[in-house]
Structures are given as C-alpha cells and as structure tokens.
Amino acid sequence: MRAVVQRVSSARVTVAGEMTGKIGAGLLIFLGVAQDDTEADGDWLAPKIAALRIFEDDAGKMNCALTDTAGGALVVSQFTLLASTAKGTRPSFNAAAPPALAIPLYERFIRQLAAALGRPVATGRFGAMMEVALVNAGPVTLVLDSRIRE
C-alpha cells in the first residue's frame, strides 16, 4: 500500500455533488492498494499513520500524533499512486490492485485506522470520480509505502 498523508486544516470529498466525507484539522490520506498487497500491509500502515508525530505541541515542535489530538482522518482511495512512468509519458497502472482485491483491503485499512484512533474515519467513495478540497497545514505531506516500510 502506498499512502500520501497530508496534514490539513480542513478537507472534504464530494461525489456528483454529494459530500461523502469531511474533516476539520487532521489528516487527509490518499491510499493506493497494489496487486500484491495483503492484510499485513494495512496492519503496518494504519497504526503507523495514526502515530505519526506531525502535529505541533505547545512549544511549536512536531511532537504530537493524530492520536494525541482531536483531529479527524479522511481516507480517499487513489489507484494512481501506483502509477509507473518508466516507459514514456503515459502512466501505467498495472501495479494497482483490481477492485475485487483493493476494496476489501481499503475497507479493512479504514477499520484499522478507526480502531487505532478510537473514532470514526471519514471517506470518499471507492472507484468514484471524486472532487477533493483541502487546506494543507504547514504544508506537511508525507509518502509512506508498506512495501519498503517507509
């Protein structure tokens, strides 16, 4: 699994004019599921994201995790995170998992993140054309990949 994690002041996702998820301050997580991902990838990734110390403490240092704040989490599926641009200029998405594999792993990741946070997680809609609006705070943006544990 590959995740792009952005610290935000606010974020929301809409599908065909309907808002499917919205948060105030917290983390917006774009999640891509690869063909060879397993439950173990989410087992590593969800608690890692919940524990990332990227929120400022009282001294202004990034020492606090989402678990230390009342912040929200919004997860949006994004198969394009698995794109390869090695050949030419048209990206290949062959590494992305097909929906039959990706949906259960995406849904499990959301449950794991909610459990790690002890609160519900907002989401987009898997496979839909989504509009994501966000206010990046910092900006703070990290890329995590369960394959390389980074």
Residue 96 domain flag:
yes
- Report the domain count for the chain: 1
Is 30 an active-site residue?
no
Q: What pLDDT is stored for residue 149 in this prediction?
A: 83
Q: Which residue has the tokens 């929120």?
A: 55
Residue 84 domain flag:
yes
pTM summary value: 0.95
Is 85 an active-site residue?
no
CATH number, domain with residue 11: 3.50.80.10
Averaged pLDDT, groups of 10, the chain, 150 residues long = 98 97 98 97 97 96 96 97 93 95 98 97 96 96 90
Residue 98 domain flag:
yes
Q: What pLDDT is stored for residue 150 in this prediction?
A: 72
Q: What pLDDT is stored for residue 29 in this prediction?
A: 98
Residue 149 domain flag:
no
Is 112 an active-site residue?
no
Residue 50 domain flag:
yes
Task: Give the structural domain span for 59.
Answer: 2-144
Residue 80 domain flag:
yes
Q: What pLDDT is stored for residue 23 in this prediction?
A: 98
Catalytic residue selected from 79, 109, 123, 126: 79
Question: How many Å apart are CA 61 and CA 104, to the nearest integer?
Answer: 37
